[in-house]
Amino acid sequence: MDRADVCVLLPTMDEAETIGDVIDEFVAEGFDRILVIDGGSTDDTRDIARDRGAQVVVQSGSGKGQAVREAVHDYVESPYVLLLDGDGTYRADDADAMLAPLDDGAEHVIGDRFADMHPDAMSRLNALGNRLINRSFGFIHGPGWGDILSGYRAFTRDSFERMHLTSDGFGIETEMAVECAKRSIPTVVVPITYDPRPDGSETNLRPFRDGGVIFLELYRRAKTNNPLFYFGSVGFASTAVGLVLGAYVAYDWFVNTISHEVIAVVTAFAILFGVQLLMFGVLSDLILTLHRETLGRLDEVEEDLETLESGVDVGEVGEAVVESEVEAEAGDD
């Protein structure tokens, strides 16, 4: 892949200790289109990035997700984007491996940090949280991509434009993974090396708060990607609670002849509410399946029309050639 077709995108926030080395490594690899979008750093991040030759812009909002969306929509002109954090944990020499699948038809590439992770690169708490989130993603949304929270991504600008992204914070990686699954964007996972943050640099990640946000994002996105789980999980829980309460009411009535009118009403409500949600989840899943089938057929029709249009163009050219030959022969006569 031509390096001129790739924009290296680095969202930053107080990364003065690392941003210079990160830019130098990519310049050494032959990348000259490096865009740093800064979230209002209070250190020398922006000045260092400019001195190293990167284009530097300050994002209009806040959060990594907003920075990535703004950068790709407003500043990136290259057809391919290489996205990574500016904290020195990702290596520039993995860039070729990240970009190679895009030449083979993939539109989104995820770098798998767990393939070669330095022992000190991630705390046990963060590693546990990552694995739980990855398993939850596979259970809810389907594909088992292994490391959906990886910040090292390569993608086509066109595929990014097709995604519906709203997250402003660290949920951007989760959103992109869900959108790839939802829209059947060809996605490939490649092994990369993940290093610890250099001494003197501090992480902007808050494990419990950001982890909670990501779990909620996984569930919220299930509404349009897996409605059976989205509605069914709540419906199943409500039905289960109703059955437990119902068993208690029935036991006390038949064994101790004690009635619980209020609990009985709550039991009936919980069971009815749960069953309705389960039915709604099934119907929503059916509608989504039909919708996807329709979109697939529309894509096939569009491809057929493009093929037919190409054939018409060729036919028109052929007819023009035949007519010119006939006219030439008539002129000779």
DSSP per residue, 117-146: E-TTSS-HHHHHHHHHHHHHHHHHHS---S
Q: For the chain, what is the total number of helices (H) and then of strands (E)?
A: 10, 7
Domain 3-225 belongs to what topology? Spore Coat Polysaccharide Biosynthesis Protein SpsA; Chain A (3.90.550)
- pTM summary value: 0.78
Domain range list for the chain: 3-225, 227-324
The whole-angstrom separation of Cα 150 and Cα 168 is 16
For 159-208, how does the pLDDT look when each residue is reduced to its tens digit (9 = 90+)? 999 999 988 887 899 999 999 999 889 999 999 999 998 876 677 677 78
The whole-angstrom separation of Cα 184 and Cα 187 is 8
For 82-114, how does the pLDDT look when each residue is reduced to its tens digit (9 = 90+)? 999 999 999 999 999 999 999 999 999 999 999
- Residue 83 DSSP one-character state: E
Q: Which two tokens stand for residue 182?
A: 């939802």
Q: Which two tokens stand for residue 73?
A: 């929509």
> What is the pLDDT confidence band of residue 135, given thresholds at 50, 70 and 90?
very high
Annotate 10-53 with three-state secondary structure.
Answer: EEECCCCCCHHHHHHHHHHCCCCCEEEEECCCCCCHHHHHHHCC
